[in-house]
Amino acid sequence: MEVCQFDVALNRRALSAKFIRLKTHMRTMRYDSIMPIPERLNPIFANSEPANLRLEQARQRLIIALDVPDAASAVALVDRLEGTCRWCKVGLELFVAAGPAIVEKLSKRGLSIFLDLKFHDIPNTVAGAVRSASALGAKMLTLHAAGGPAMLASAHDAVSQLSDPPQLLAVTVLTSMDKAQLGAVGVKREPGPQVKLLAEMGMAAGLRGFVCSPEEVAELRSLSGQEGVLVVPGIRPAGAAVGDQKRIATPASAIRDGASYLVVGRPISQASNAAAAADAIVHEIAEELSA
Ligand code: C5P
Is-catalytic flag, 118? yes
Same domain, 131 and 182: yes
Q: Is residue 214 part of a domain?
A: yes
Q: Is residue 81 part of a domain?
A: yes
Please enumerate in sequence order all residues whose Cβ is within 8 A of that of 48, keeping only pairs 6 or more positions apart, or say none.
56
**What was the pLDDT predicted at 51?**
83
Same domain, 114 and 197: yes
CB 175 near ligand 1, within 6 Å:
yes
Q: How many CA atoms lie within 13 A of 185 on its CB side?
A: 11
132 located within any domain: yes
- Are residues 105 and 210 both part of a single domain? yes
Q: Is 171 in the pocket of ligand 1 (CB under 6 A)?
A: yes
Q: Quick one: 14 and 130 in the same domain?
A: no
- Shared domain check, 80 and 1: no
| DSSP character at residue 193 | H
Mean pLDDT of 67-90: 97
- Residue 17 alpha carbon to ligand 1 centre in Å: 43
Judge if the beta carbon of residue 237 lies within 6 A of ligand 1. no
Mean pLDDT score, 198-203? 97
State whether 15 and 53 are in the same domain: no
User: What crossing angle do the helices spanning 50-59 and 274-290 adopt, rounded to 10°?
Assistant: 120
Same domain, 264 and 131: yes
In a domain, 39, yes or no: no
The catalytic position among 18, 23, 105, 118 is 118
Closest residue by Cα to residue 173 from 158, 187, 160: 187
Ligand 1 pocket mutation pick from 67, 94, 117, 269 by most atoms within 8 angstroms of CB: 67
Same domain membership, residue 59 and residue 173: yes
Q: How far is the CA of 263 from the centre of ligand 1 (A)?
A: 7
Give the per-residue pLDDT at 45: 53
Residue ranges in the chain assigned as alpha helix (H): 2-34, 50-59, 71-81, 92-98, 101-108, 123-135, 149-160, 179-184, 191-204, 217-224, 251-256, 266-269, 274-290
Do 52 and 27 share a domain, yes or no? no
List, as own/partner pairs, every contact residues 76-81 make where C-beta atoms lie below 8 angstroms and the sequence separation is at least 24, other chains included.
77/269, 77/274, 78/106, 78/109, 78/111, 80/274, 80/275, 81/268, 81/274, 81/275, 81/278
Residue pair 237/207 in contact (Cβ under 8 Å)? The answer is: no
Q: How confident is the model at residue 200 (pLDDT cuts 50, 70, 90)?
A: very high
Give the range among 100-109, 195-204, 238-247 with minimum mean pLDDT.
238-247
115 in the same domain as 188: yes
Q: Which domain holds residue 105?
A: 44-290
The phi and psi torsions of 112 (rounded to 5 degrees) equal -85, 140
245 has a pLDDT exceeding 90: no
More confident of the two residues 32 and 143: 143
142 alpha carbon – ligand 1 mean position (Å):
12
pLDDT digits (tens, 9 = 90+) for 133-146: 999 999 999 999 99
pLDDT score, position 46? 52
Is residue 22 assigned to a domain? yes
Q: What percent of the chain has pLDDT over 70?
A: 84
CA distance 208 to 170: 8
Report if residue 26 sits inside a domain. yes
Pairing of strands 112-119, 87-91: parallel
Do 105 and 15 reside in the same domain of the chain? no
What does the pLDDT look like over 111-124, one tens digit per residue? Answer: 999 999 999 999 99
Query: CATH number for the domain including 204?
Result: 3.20.20.70
Query: Which of helix, strand or coil describes residue 69?
Result: coil
How many structural domains compose the chain?
Answer: 2
Domain for residue 209, yes or no?
Answer: yes
Encoded amino acid at 285, one letter: I
3-state secondary structure string, 85-111? CCEEEEEHHHHHHHCCHHHHHHHHCCC
pLDDT digits (tens, 9 = 90+) for 259-280: 999 999 999 999 999 999 999 9
Asked whether residue 161 falls in the same domain as residue 23, the answer is: no
Q: Please report which confidence band the pLDDT of residue 237 belongs to, taking 50, 70 and 90 as the band edges.
A: very high
Element (H, E) at 170: strand 167-171
CA 89, chain centre distance (Å): 10
